[in-house]
Amino acid sequence: MDVGAGQRTAAESAPLRPADFVEAGRLLFAGPCEFIWGAADINGLPPMAPPEIAFAGRSNVGKSSLVNALTGRTTLARVSHTPGRTQQLNFFALGGPPGAERIRLVDMPGYGYASVGKEKSNGWMRLMQAYLAGRASLMRVFVLIDGRHGPKPPDLETMTAFDRAAVSYQVALTKFDEVKPGARAGVVEATLAALARRPAAHPEILTTSSRTKEGVAEFRAVVARLLSERGA
């Protein structure tokens, strides 16, 4: 049967399957990606343009490493053994040249490490809050939690702040390569329990390793699905 102009085939009108998002995510993150903007204070935030996703979490949890793993780069975002490496909001343009990118990734400074110094840490916290408040282009914040330990008080406080500000977030458990197979289900369950009745939390969690790349394709698929839901 011929399909006339404007008509859609059954295959085209079928809802996208999870596998389609895996492929869309692969393609998105295989595209160009470059650092475009660093914001060290509230007045230095870039104008809102394409959709954004942001990476939050305790210092040293692996935010910058995950930005690198997702984009298949090793040195895009700076990684360090010492907590407090990322000191500003770093914006990366993905999927097109800067100005025509499909999405921006925002790598944020970490929270919850005494060694960073209270004044500096509070400053970053205010910067993050200023960014997160009323950022219409922000699709979702990924709250990264160390998979070896599960949620700690600073993670719970951050999630409570996001719930109050109605900032949509999703948890990803990082460094999963370091979690023994027998301990994995327990930490996932404990994390899901900590998310129950949190109004701004996405109910599903991700597990990732920037070292083995476990969960990276699934993470990209989640981002591709978010973009598709936005019609972007």
Ligand X SMILES: Nc1nc2c(ncn2[C@@H]2O[C@H](COP(=O)(O)OP(=O)(O)OP(=O)(O)O)[C@@H](O)[C@H]2O)c(=O)[nH]1
Interface ranges with ligand X (CB under 6 A): 57, 59-65, 79-81, 83-86, 109-110, 174-175, 177-178, 209-211
Question: 77 with 29: CB under 8 angstroms?
Answer: no
> Could you give the CA distance from residue 79 to residue 86 in angstroms, rounded to a whole number?
8
> Could you give the CA distance from residue 231 to residue 204 in angstroms, rounded to a whole number?
22
> Could you give the CA distance from residue 121 to residue 105 in angstroms, rounded to a whole number?
22
Using the minimum distance from each CB to ligand X, give the nearer residue, 24 or 208: 208
Nearest to ligand X by Cβ — which residue?
A: 110
62 binds, among ligand X, Mg ion, none (CB under 5 to 8 A by kind): ligand X
96 binds, among Mg ion, ligand X, none (CB under 5 to 8 A by kind): none
Per DSSP, 19 falls in state H
Shortest Å distance, C-beta 113 to Mg ion: 12
174 binds, among ligand X, Mg ion, none (CB under 5 to 8 A by kind): ligand X
> Could you give the CA distance from residue 214 to residue 174 in angstroms, rounded to a whole number?
10
211 binds, among ligand X, Mg ion, none (CB under 5 to 8 A by kind): ligand X
Binding site for Mg ion (CB under 5 A): 63-64, 85-86
Per DSSP, 31 falls in state S
